[in-house]
Amino acid sequence: MSDVVEFVEYTKSITRNIVIRERIKDYEKDLKAAKMELEDHNYEVDTSEVPWYIEAQGGERRTLKECADLQTEEWRNIEIKLLDAIHLAETKLSSVRSDLARSEEFREWRIIVDGFESGTTLAPSSSEALKVAITKIDRSDYPYVETTMWISVKVTCDESGEEDLDTVALHPDEPGCVDGKNHDWQSPHKVVGGREDYPGMWPNEAGVIIREVCGNCGKYKVTNTWALDVATGAHGLRSVSYEKPDDFSLQWLADKR
């Protein structure tokens, strides 16, 4: 592509997105106006959020759509054209938001790490925004990671209504070995236990738990290949933890020497 063609394509893309964004603003205004008109008619409508609700008798809450569909006695006084106006504004808004979501325009994403607002980023898609969000995870926020934990990362674009999630595994730091050596993970049956033909291995649903011991320092490493993230219910994850040397591993080391 020549520079001129690229420039023209770029300009077209910007123009198209300016139109989308103006429409989003317009339709947001339309929606607000439609809701206000309904409020003005004193229908005791909570318009603070979408979907919004009408307090039914006895404290029961229904969406306006449900109310319109039901057409029961208690809702008969609502003018359907007001509901239609809201529905129309919502449909138009949702349609232009989808246009923006499909575009490659940079848009603002709010980053939520582990449930906490962690700034914003500009990105052309949720996957790009997630890549930035993952870098916001600060290992020093989790100084006492004793076993693998999973940190949820979420990005939300208020303008387009998009949302995306990811989960990042945070493994504990491997403790040091002795004399500047690297750990030498082994599975001597008399130390790690389990079945003699599968020392240090235990079935765990569709995976295994593996217990190993270091032939230099006597520390243990426990790997679970079917771990569960309690927060999300995701399973089949890999977790790792380390344990201090004990009498069995220290005796084993002494015997080896």
Binding site for Zn ion (CB under 5 A): 177, 183, 214, 216-217
Q: Are strands 207-214 and 116-123 parallel, antiparallel or unpaired?
A: unpaired
Give the DSSP per-residue string, 188-227.
Answer: -HHHH-B-SSSBTEEEETTEEEEEEEETTT--EEEEEEEE
- Specify the residue, 106 or 242, whose C-beta has the smaller distance to Zn ion: 242
- Specify the residue, 151 or 217, whose C-beta has the smaller distance to Zn ion: 217
Name residue 156's beta-bridge partners: 110, 163
- Specify the residue, 138 or 184, whose C-beta has the smaller distance to Zn ion: 184
What letter represents residue 172's amino acid?
A: P
Single out the residue of 79, 98, 73 nearest to residue 64, CA to CA: 79
Whether the CB-CB separation of 109 and 126 falls below 8 Å is answered with yes
Q: Least distance from C-beta 183 to Zn ion, angstroms?
A: 4
Q: Least distance from C-beta 257 to Zn ion, angstroms?
A: 15
Whether the CB-CB separation of 113 and 136 falls below 8 Å is answered with yes
Q: Least distance from C-beta 239 to Zn ion, angstroms?
A: 20
- Specify the residue, 143 or 180, whose C-beta has the smaller distance to Zn ion: 180
Name residue 117's beta-bridge partners: 112
- Specify the residue, 180 or 233, whose C-beta has the smaller distance to Zn ion: 180
Q: Least distance from C-beta 204 to Zn ion, angstroms?
A: 24
- Specify the residue, 108 or 243, whose C-beta has the smaller distance to Zn ion: 243
Q: Least distance from C-beta 188 to Zn ion, angstroms?
A: 14
- Specify the residue, 149 or 217, whose C-beta has the smaller distance to Zn ion: 217
Q: Least distance from C-beta 146 to Zn ion, angstroms?
A: 18
Q: Least distance from C-beta 249 to Zn ion, angstroms?
A: 10
Neighbours of 186 (CB within 10 A): 15
Single out the residue of 83, 222, 112, 98 nearest to residue 162, CA to CA: 98
Name residue 228's beta-bridge partners: 235
User: Does residue 172 have a cis peptide bond before it, meaning omega lies within 30 degrees of 0?
Assistant: no
Produce one character per residue of 119-131: b if its CB has 16 or more CB atoms within 10 Å, e if not: ebbebebbebbbe
Structure tokens at 13: 């893309």
